[in-house]
Amino acid sequence: MTEPTYIRSSAVVSRLIAGETLVVPVRGKVGDLASIYSFNEVGTTIWEALAKPTSVNTLTDLIVGEYEVSREQAAQDVENFLQEIRTAELVLAVEVHGSDVSHRTELREIA
């Protein structure tokens, strides 16, 4: 079984403002201003990594490397963050087909 992999939804826009990332879902070609999400520094680090398909383990490694936190705490925080932003439809869980993500890959959303 492959490790869960996530990527940002194409139905959102985001901007980094004063160290925080603001994310706005786009519904019917219009930004849903009633659903603006704001990410702190750690959330912004994860969001930036999700510009390409990224596994939970890779995200956890990134947080452990950037911040003073145990691997266990980082893993829990990453899982919680991903669950919240997936519920808000800001990211997609995908299957990556291809041996190297930097080369041509096929992404397929999974339920």
Question: Rounded distance, CA 48 to CA 74, Å?
Answer: 16
What digits encode the pLDDT tens for the residues 15-24? 998 888 999 8
Least confident range from 7-11, 30-34, 94-98, 104-108: namely 104-108
Measuring CA to CA, how many Å separate 53 from each of 25, 32, 35? 19, 25, 24
> In whole numbers, what is the pLDDT of the chain averaged over residues?
84
Q: Which helix (H) or strand (E) holds 87?
A: helix 71-87
Question: Rounded distance, CA 24 to CA 6, Å?
Answer: 18
